[in-house]
Chain A
Amino acid sequence: MLEAYYKPASLEEALSILDDFAGRARVIAGGTDLVLQLMHKEVAADVLVDISGLRQLRKIREENGRIVIGALSTHTDLSESSLLQEKAPLLSAAAGSVGSLQIRNVGTVGGNIVNAQPAADTAVALLALDATAKVVSLSGEKQVLLEELYSPLGGSNLNPCREILTEISFAPLSKSKAGGAFVRLARRKAVALPVLNVAVVIHSEEAKGALTDARIVMGPVALTPFRARKAEQVLRGSFPGEESFCRAAGLAADEARPRDSRFRGSAAYRKELARVMVLRALTIAQSNLDGQGVNR
């Protein structure tokens, strides 16, 4: 049973309340994950520090050539953002695919990351965008690669009893030099966790030229969102097209380690899905890069 519910007016106040309770207090944002976890006693907390009133942590902006998203921005904010629709459409698509409108209105991108589910939709897209996270605690502020927030055994390296994720940033997908895509399959057409989701971003210096970089992220096929590094590796330096994409998709499926699930299906099925969906995502990303696609 909770002892107290705080609604601090500033980040400093939030951090000092967390500090006062020395591990017994925990950050809550939208609560769409945490409330159930508390009810089911999967997470223990005596005190909640609700940071959703910190307006400065709810923003989506372009600053110094990077897109900066406040951790308290909701999935609705992300999916409706015209900035993201233009410069990182895979992220707005991923946010738009989360749960229901009621969940998207309340659930935040920060919570999606810190909750650290292997198929968290916006986190998967942000990892493909090579995002950086800003984490603040009483001992100061640090910028870390989003990837580094994940513990290899699953879960987050960020400690919500001490630290607050304040913002996420990444380079926008520059026109005709980068293309991205987010694809997802679920057991029904809305309000369903993904059986598999895939986000890809590819880069190229010139039209139809060799790819200079590629990131392929998917879930849930491991304990954390999974980067298909071998597949990325073969794409770097190769020319985009059916041949290289098929090879990359095959490798990505080989690398993925889904487990059999009574709900999501057999590992064999989801490996095949990984192949199909990585291929699809790469194809869409390429047409976005070429400026032909609907860019999503």
Chain B
Amino acid sequence: MKKRGWGLGCMWYGIGNTGMPNPSGAFVELLDDATVILLTGCADIGQGSNTALAQIVAEELGVALEMVKVVSADTGVTPDAGATSASRQTYISGNAVRKAAETAKKPLKEKAAALLKVAEEQIEFRDYKIFPSFDPKCALPLKNVIRECRRDGLLTLGHGSFNPDTAELDKESGRGIPYATYAFATQWAEVEVDTETGEVTVLKIVAAHDVGKAINPKAVEGQIEGGCSMGLGYALMEEVILEKGMILNPGLSNYLIPTFKDMPEIISLIVEEEEETGPFGAKGVGEPPLIPTAPAILNAVSNALGIHFTELPLTPEKILSALHEKNNKGAFQEGDLDA
């Protein structure tokens, strides 16, 4: 028989390294033709940080994304940005590149304020123009102001760095400020369980993630969807099998990860609860998506069968074994292993 069930998983997760400094630095230079060079140590391993960081810089300087040339993760030339881990790069390196861009535009701001005869705080940068926020019509072209700066022998370049506000944890009590900010998420899963074989089919996942501000919504969805597939694998099939310290399944033929056919429809819901200390309100989303998936799936199986499961991966055998126990048929026992 097939039984359906529905389950929720919720999580909160600290962004950045736990209770320790983990700064990131960046350099930004704005060239004569409004091309921007961004140097960041941040390694883009596919999550899209090169794009997101460039977007932050472009937004700060009021130029198009295509103008920002990113040089990243080259230890020969880029400043340290820390590891691409801990869901930290958008938040921490995002702040660093934004500050670097702010510093790079400082001379432009001063120059424009003088030319427009307004206070520096009232100056805005948008669409290659610099203007007083109260009167966008009297705007100066960005390139003209850059030229004015050059005439004075001023370069438009800056560096920036950011270190999240944390405090070391007390060794006794564990108290302190482990993270400057947190991501929150809830996922919902619908499953179908075959009560005679123990096979689970995940039919749908809905994943709602508070990311502060989605700098690049498509990339955020990509992180959510990918995290759900890792979470589904974690829930149902992924396991490093050890024997006397040796891994018995070191390859993709035995360590199974979800295929195209294992993945259900995923509906990503991006929640934007602005983080005051984040770049344009952003936090992180790298790891959070894979955290609540397994709980949601296991809760859905529990909901379908009325049995609570606490062990991962939840294989068909574990499910059938628990069903047999529930029906007083006895769980499966192992004899000699022939793996």
Contacts and interface: CB of A to CB of B under 8 A. Distances in A.
| Direct A–B touching, Cβ under 8 Å | yes
Interface of A: 185, 187-192, 195, 259-263, 265-269, 272-273, 276-277
Interface string B319-335: 01100100000001111
A187 B199 CA distance: 9
A191 B248 CA distance: 19
B256 A187 contact: yes
Interface in B229-252: 236-237, 241, 243, 248-249
Contact of A265 (B241, B243, B249, B317): B317
A268 B334 CA distance: 7
B332 A266 contact: yes
B338 A261 contact: yes
A269 B319 CA distance: 11
A262 B259 contact: no
A273 B323 CA distance: 13
Given A190-B262, A260-B338, 9 more contacts: A188-B262, A189-B259, A190-B260, A260-B337, A263-B254, A265-B315, A267-B335, A273-B197, A277-B197
Given A259-B336, A263-B249, A185 B316 contact: yes
A230 to B, nearest CB: 22
10 contacts: A187-B256, A187-B315, A190-B261, A195-B316, A261-B339, A262-B248, A268-B332, A268-B333, A269-B317, A269-B332
A189 B197 CA distance: 14
Chain B contact surface mostly? loop
A262 B241 contact: yes
B333 A191 contact: no
A268 B132 CA distance: 78
Nearest to B233: A188
B257 to A, nearest CB: 8
Contact of B337 (A185, A190, A262, A277): A262
A268 B320 CA distance: 11
Contact of A276 (B197, B249, B332): B197
Contacts of B261: 188-190
A182 to B, nearest CB: 15
A190 B259 contact: yes
A188 B249 CA distance: 16
B33 interface: no
Contacts of A269: 317, 320-321, 332
Contacts of A260: 334-339
Contacts of B324: 272
B168 interface: no
A281 B333 CA distance: 26
Chain A contact surface mostly? mixed
Nearest to B254: A263
Nearest to B249: A263
Contacts of A195: 316
A2 to B, nearest CB: 24
B258 interface: yes
Contacts of A188: 236-237, 256, 258-259, 261-262
B250 to A, nearest CB: 13
Top 10 closest pairs, chain A to chain B, by CB = A262-B339, A189-B261, A268-B332, A190-B261, A265-B317, A259-B338, A269-B317, A276-B196, A190-B259, A266-B334
B191 to A, nearest CB: 13
A263 B241 contact: yes
Contacts of A259: 336, 338
Contact of A272 (B243, B315, B320, B337): B320
Contacts of A268: 332-334
A265 B321 CA distance: 11
Contacts of B241: 262-263
A275 to B, nearest CB: 9
A266 B236 CA distance: 17
Q: Which of A190, A269, A272, A273 has the most CB of B within 10 A?
A: A269
A268 to B, nearest CB: 4
A21 B13 CA distance: 65
Q: Which of A190, A191, A260, A262 has the most CB of B within 10 A?
A: A262
Contacts of B249: 263
Nearest to B263: A189
B193 to A, nearest CB: 13
A263 B197 contact: no
Interface in B155-199: 196-197, 199
Contact of A261 (B243, B316, B337): B337
A266 B315 contact: no
B337 A191 contact: no
Given A259-B338, A263-B249, A269-B320, A187 B333 contact: no
Nearest to B313: A187
Contacts of B332: 265-266, 268-269, 272
Contacts of B248: 262
A42 to B, nearest CB: 14
A189 B260 CA distance: 9
Nearest to A185: B197
Contacts of A262: 241, 243, 248, 337, 339
Contacts of B317: 265-266, 269
A122 B243 CA distance: 33
A85 B338 CA distance: 37
A189 B26 CA distance: 45
A266 B198 CA distance: 14
Q: Which of B196, B201, B236, B243 has the most CB of A within 10 A?
A: B196
